[in-house]
Structure 1
């Protein structure tokens, strides 16, 4: 019993310490970003390169995931609406499901599984080669030259990825409902327009932005703290994906609850 309690205490202390280091890394990167931007010396070329890298590893998977996701939502919603005699509400239910919950979570999964893992692997490999130790010896902070450009690139790309997923998910849902579920185009669009509001889109984009920041900070932290050779890099990548995605899910629950309290669903 004592060993179990001691293990739990050690795990709690380790989790708190890890969270503190992640917050410190985020604050340092943010401060460097603001300061270097005002001083006109922020590495925008590196940011553009990282943004293009994120696009390459997430754009095609986003499209491929959005299509079956839109199909599943459309089929389930249309089937249920037909059973209860509310086929005219299929557009509102399917569209709002994609916008409010589906698109931010799919964005988090793709950013964590594709971009986050790649960032953690890159930084972990450079850590075990002692590249960052050499940078610190030369007076260069990795949070400034490595983390900040990746964080800004993720902040710029995560809302765009969310918009792509929304467009694909809603478009596929519309096509499936009209072509295979005997839906009426006008009724689908009318119900969607009646319930979907600008605030729904804003909340979805804000979620994607927050998830992207959390995922990139976790990935960078794990990569910078990698050790024990290639096995340590693999462990860092695994931890980055798991922690990043779980953090996004937890934040999604919290944000959804806050939004439901202050921005309840209503007819547009």
Structure 2
């Protein structure tokens, strides 16, 4: 009689060490992140190309674009005001106390205004758009994806990027600088009130120092930051929404990933832009 075949039991298999498990998980995470970044770049490049062509050929979907822009305004305008007030108050109070100890009260306007314009307003704009805008876009497109509406559009010969992504991208690029301007105005006004009422700064010295150190470049850089942040948010939100899989759970995961990736991307890009602007456009008297 032949020998009985040997059965490979779990005890006979070589056990993976903790280092091997960590290495495998790390490799999978890096590869998944690189793949997500590549797909997001491809989506952004394709949507940008289609948007430029549609604008030049005057075939942009204005109704959908305006509807998306109005929606973004309704979900970010009031939170933007409520976020701008603490930004202005905190910057003016903290910087004002330090400047007061140094005996340079006349510079409170410059420090507070530059803080709001250069960092506070763009970051607040990006975080609001990344929270409300990215979540709404990812949820909308994710729901359409799991209901197979995206597949239906492709079957009918309609490009989903042109039909759904481009109007949201144009709307985001319109709303982002407007929201940034609103936050700048409210933040500077809040800082001005704190400086006058609590720190004893005269209105003339506040606005004189603000005008002496704040240049048009600072404002344009702030607006440029908000546009870049808005672009990142809409690309990430659309990419995560179009790739939603697995029913409602997949939509929820896509929304969560869109918000987290948007916030992290905004923080990293803000550091890079700040360093570049500091190198090429240092603070100087207007």
TM-score where L is the length of structure 2: 0.92
- Looking at structure 2, the residues matched to 24 and 65 of structure 1 have their Cα atoms a distance apart, in angstroms, of 33
Aligned position for 1:258: 276
Give 2:233's match in structure 1, choosing from 215, 218, 234. Answer: 215
Counting helix residues as a fraction of each chain, which structure ranks higher?
Answer: 1
Aligned position for 1:32: 50
Give 2:145's match in structure 1, choosing from 99, 109, 127. Answer: 127
Aligned position for 2:27: 9
Kindly indicate whether residue 156 of structure 2 is the aligned counterpart of residue 152 of structure 1. no
- TM superposition shift of 1:13: 1.3
- TM superposition shift of 1:54: 0.6
Aligned position for 1:173: 191
Aligned position for 1:242: 260
- Looking at structure 2, the residues matched to 7 and 102 of structure 1 have their Cα atoms a distance apart, in angstroms, of 37
What secondary structure is seen at the aligned counterpart in 1 of 2:112? helix
Where does structure 1 lack aligned partners over 5 or more consecutive residues? none
- Looking at structure 2, the residues matched to 201 and 37 of structure 1 have their Cα atoms a distance apart, in angstroms, of 27
Decide whether the 8 Å contact of 1:28 with 1:144 is kept in 2: no
- TM superposition shift of 1:39: 2.4
Decide whether the 8 Å contact of 1:63 with 1:165 is kept in 2: yes
Give 1:78's match in structure 2, choosing from 82, 91, 96. Answer: 96
Where does structure 2 lack aligned partners over 5 or more consecutive residues? 1-18
Aligned position for 2:7: none
Q: What pairs up with 1:104-119 in 2 under 5 angstroms?
A: 104-119=122-137
What secondary structure is seen at the aligned counterpart in 1 of 2:157? coil
What CA deviation, in whole Å up to 9, does each residue of 1:107-137 have, x standing for no partner? Answer: 0110011111111111111111111111111
- Looking at structure 2, the residues matched to 106 and 39 of structure 1 have their Cα atoms a distance apart, in angstroms, of 35
Kindly indicate whether residue 112 of structure 2 is the aligned counterpart of residue 94 of structure 1. yes
Aligned position for 1:197: 215
Aligned position for 1:54: 72
- TM superposition shift of 1:231: 1.2
Aligned residue pairs total 268
Aligned position for 2:247: 229
- TM superposition shift of 1:37: 2.2
- Looking at structure 1, the residues matched to 285 and 87 of structure 2 have their Cα atoms a distance apart, in angstroms, of 25
What secondary structure is seen at the aligned counterpart in 1 of 2:169? helix
Decide whether the 8 Å contact of 1:26 with 1:217 is kept in 2: yes
Give 1:44's match in structure 2, choosing from 42, 59, 62. Answer: 62
TM-score where L is the length of structure 1: 0.98
What CA deviation, in whole Å up to 9, does each residue of 1:129-157 have, x standing for no partner? Answer: 11111111111121111001100110111
